[in-house]
A and B are shown apart, each in its own frame.
Chain A
C-alpha cells in the first residue's frame, strides 16, 4: 500500500515492494513455488534502497528532515528516558508550545532537556506553532538551563525548527534579544551542553538553543543560515530554485562536519529516522550517554574555555596576501 508520505525519489522502492507483496499473495493462494523469484526481488529492493538512500541529494535530505512521520523532540525524550517531568513557562510571559523542556533521567543520570516541538496533525501543528518558538520559548529554555546549571546536571538540546517565529508580537517581545541572550548565556553556562539537530536547523531559531560542548546532527537533517526556499526567493527571486539553493548552502550533516560546525553525525536507519524510530532513539541515547561520560571528565572552567574557543574558531577567512583557496567541498550528493 502506498502511503501519502512518500517522496518521488522513493517511489521506485515502494513499487517494487508492492510487486513483492502481490507475488507473495499469489504464491500463497495458488501454492506455486515462487521462492527464487521473490528472493531475487527482495535483493533487488535491498540494492535499490541502498542505492537511493545512500545517494540522496541535499534537497532530498531536507525533504526527509521534514517527513511528517519523523520523530519529534518529545518522542525522543519519551523513548530514551526512564523518567521525565515536563516543565512549562518562562516565568515572564507564558508557556511556548513550540519549545518544550523538562527534567529527565536515564539510569542514575539526571539531565535537562530542551527542544523545539512540532505537531503531527493539522491541529497539533498549529498548537505547536509549526515548531517556531516565540521569545518566551527561548526564555523558557534559558530558565530551564539555569536550573540545570544550578544543580550540576547536563543539558540536552534537541533542535528541530523551521525558524524562530517572525510575528508581530514576537518582535514586540524581543525575539532578537531572546535568541542573543541564549547565545551569550549558553557560551558561559557552567555545565555540559549537548545539542542534537534531529530535524530542521533553521538559522537563529535553531542556534538559539544550539551552543554546546558537543553539537551533532542526525544523518538526514539540515542546519544553515536560511532555508533553501527563502534563500531561493531572495537570491533567485523565485521559490523554484530551492534545490539549487540547497546545493549552494551546503546544509547537510556531512557538509557541516567538513565545515567544522558540528562534532559528529548520528546515524539513522536506512531511509530516515521514521523508518525505524527505535534505532534512531537508541543511537541518540548512546550518543548522549557517551558525551556525558566524556564531558564530565573535563573540569568546568576548561570545558567553558574549550566551548568558547570552539565557536571562536568558526569561520573561513584568509589574509589579504594569500591567494584564493580553491578548495571546494566535494559535491557528493549531486542530484
Chain B
C-alpha cells in the first residue's frame, strides 16, 4: 500500500515553476510560465526576466515608466461615455460600462496626460486593454483630441500608446468616425510641426491600426506585439490555411516596412526622449509654455 506514499520528501516544484502564486507577490509570465517576483518585474519594466516577454501593462504602468518621477497631470479624465445608440446585445451598453468601470477602476479605454520625459514636456495618450478590449469609442477619440489640443497649446511633442482590439461596436458608426476624427486632428499637430510618435503594443489591431497607430512620424513597437488590420482568426478563415510563424508580429511588420524601430520596454524612455529631442525643430524645442 505504498503507491500513495511520497517517495521523495519535500516540495519538488521550483517556486518559479509553480502554477499558482498569491496575487501581488508573484506574477506568472504568460509566455514562459515562470513565476516572477512582482517587485523585480516592475523594476524590469514588466519584462520577464527569463524570456524577455513583454507583459501587457496599462496606462498606470506606462505613465510611471515614462514620466519623470511619475509626475503628470491627467487631461480629459472627466470625459466619459454616453449611450448614443441605446445599444443592447446580450447586455445593455451602460450596464457593460458600469461593470467594467467597477472591475477595472478605469473610466474608459484610454487616458491622456501631460508630464516630462527626461526633462522635456510630453503629452501621452495611452490605451488600456482591460477596458472592453481597449476598444475605441467616442471617449477614446475625445480624450486623444483634447491631448492633441494640449500638445499644440504648450508646443509639446505627442505620443499615443496603442493597445486595442479596434473600434467599439457598441457605438456603431460613431466609433468608426473616431478614426476619422483623430486622423483629422493629427493634421493640426502636423501643421504645428510637433512630432508624433506612435507606439504599438500587444495587441494593436482593427480601426486603431487603420488610423492613428500607423500615422506617427515614427511608428515604433514593443517586441513580438501582434499588429495588424484584420485579426489572425479572420484572416485564417478568409484564406483557409494556417498563418506563417511570426505573422503580424512586430518583427514581421518591421520587415514589411511599416515600423521605424522596435524597442525593448526597458529602453523605451531613453530612446523616446532621444527621438523627440532630435525631431523637434529648434524653434519648437525652445522652452515650452508651461501651465
**B is bound to A:** yes
Instruction: Give the B-binding residues of A (Cβ under 8 A).
Output: 164-168, 170-177, 179-181, 183-184, 187-188, 203-204, 207-208, 210-211, 223-226, 231, 234-236, 244-245, 248-251, 255-256, 259, 261, 307-308, 311-312, 314-321, 324-325, 328-329
User: Does A259 lie within 8 Å of B235, measured CB to CB?
Assistant: no
A165, A176, A308 — which one has the most chain B CB atoms within 10 A of its CB?
A: A176
> Which residues of chain B from 162 to 204 have any CB-CB distance to chain A below 8 Å in the complex?
167-169, 171-181, 183-188, 191
User: Does B90 lie within 8 Å of A235, measured CB to CB?
Assistant: yes
User: Does B85 lie within 8 Å of A184, measured CB to CB?
Assistant: no
Q: A292 CB to closest chain B CB, in angstroms?
A: 22
Q: B159 CB to closest chain A CB, in angstroms?
A: 16
11 contacts between A and B (CB under 8 A): A164-B210, A168-B247, A176-B228, A177-B258, A184-B215, A187-B184, A317-B80, A317-B81, A317-B139, A318-B81, A320-B107
User: Does B180 lie within 8 Å of A175, measured CB to CB?
Assistant: no
User: Does B183 lie within 8 Å of A225, measured CB to CB?
Assistant: no
> A307 touches which one: B142, B168, B177, B184 (CB < 8 A)?
B184
User: Does B238 lie within 8 Å of A166, measured CB to CB?
Assistant: yes
User: Does B174 lie within 8 Å of A259, measured CB to CB?
Assistant: yes
CB contacts (< 8 Å) of B80 on chain A: these are 317-320
How far does the alpha carbon of A210 sit from the alpha carbon of B89 in the complex, in Å? 28
User: Does A325 lie within 8 Å of B82, measured CB to CB?
Assistant: yes
A180, A204, A321 — which one has the most chain B CB atoms within 10 A of its CB?
A: A180
How far does the alpha carbon of A315 sit from the alpha carbon of B85 in the complex, in Å? 11
User: Does B173 lie within 8 Å of A211, measured CB to CB?
Assistant: no
User: Does B173 lie within 8 Å of A224, measured CB to CB?
Assistant: yes
Q: A173 CB to closest chain B CB, in angstroms?
A: 7
B27 at interface, CB cutoff 8 A: no
> A174 touches which one: B87, B183, B257 (CB < 8 A)?
B257
How far does the alpha carbon of A250 sit from the alpha carbon of B173 in the complex, in Å? 8
> Which residues of chain B from 74 to 105 have any CB-CB distance to chain A below 8 Å in the complex?
78-90, 94
Interface size class of B (residues with CB under 8 A): 35 or more
How far does the alpha carbon of A321 sit from the alpha carbon of B80 in the complex, in Å? 9
CB contacts (< 8 Å) of A259 on chain B: these are 84, 172-174
Nearest residue, chain A, Cβ from B87:
A248
A188, A319, A324 — which one has the most chain B CB atoms within 10 A of its CB?
A: A188
How far does the alpha carbon of A152 sit from the alpha carbon of B181 in the complex, in Å? 25
CB contacts (< 8 Å) of A320 on chain B: these are 78-80, 107
A171-B247, A317-B81 given; A204·B229 CB < 8 A = yes
User: Does B141 lie within 8 Å of A180, measured CB to CB?
Assistant: no
A171-B229, A316-B84 given; A224·B176 CB < 8 A = yes
B225 at interface, CB cutoff 8 A: no
CB contacts (< 8 Å) of B87 on chain A: these are 248
User: Does A207 lie within 8 Å of B176, measured CB to CB?
Assistant: yes
B239 at interface, CB cutoff 8 A: yes
> Which residues of chain B from 203 to 261 have any CB-CB distance to chain A below 8 Å in the complex?
206-207, 209-215, 227-230, 234-235, 238-239, 243, 247-248, 256-258
User: Does B181 lie within 8 Å of A312, measured CB to CB?
Assistant: yes
User: Does A187 lie within 8 Å of B187, measured CB to CB?
Assistant: yes
B145 at interface, CB cutoff 8 A: yes
How far does the alpha carbon of A203 sit from the alpha carbon of B180 in the complex, in Å? 11
A184-B187, A315-B178, A319-B80 given; A175·B138 CB < 8 A = no
User: Does B89 lie within 8 Å of A225, measured CB to CB?
Assistant: no
How far does the alpha carbon of A256 sit from the alpha carbon of B85 in the complex, in Å? 11
User: Does A225 lie within 8 Å of B229, measured CB to CB?
Assistant: no
> B214 touches which one: A168, A180, A308 (CB < 8 A)?
A180
Q: A181 CB to closest chain B CB, in angstroms?
A: 7
A184-B187, A203-B176 given; A317·B256 CB < 8 A = no
* 6 nearest A-B pairs in the assembled complex, by CB-CB distance: A166-B230, A315-B138, A176-B209, A183-B183, A316-B84, A328-B86
> B228 touches which one: A171, A179, A248 (CB < 8 A)?
A171
Q: A167 CB to closest chain B CB, in angstroms?
A: 6
User: Does A187 lie within 8 Å of B183, measured CB to CB?
Assistant: yes
CB contacts (< 8 Å) of B145 on chain A: these are 312
How far does the alpha carbon of A324 sit from the alpha carbon of B86 in the complex, in Å? 11
A204-B210, A211-B180 given; A225·B169 CB < 8 A = yes
CB contacts (< 8 Å) of A164 on chain B: these are 210, 229-230
User: Does B214 lie within 8 Å of A324, measured CB to CB?
Assistant: no
B94, B137, B183, B212 — which one has the most chain A CB atoms within 10 A of its CB?
A: B183
How far does the alpha carbon of A317 sit from the alpha carbon of B186 in the complex, in Å? 20
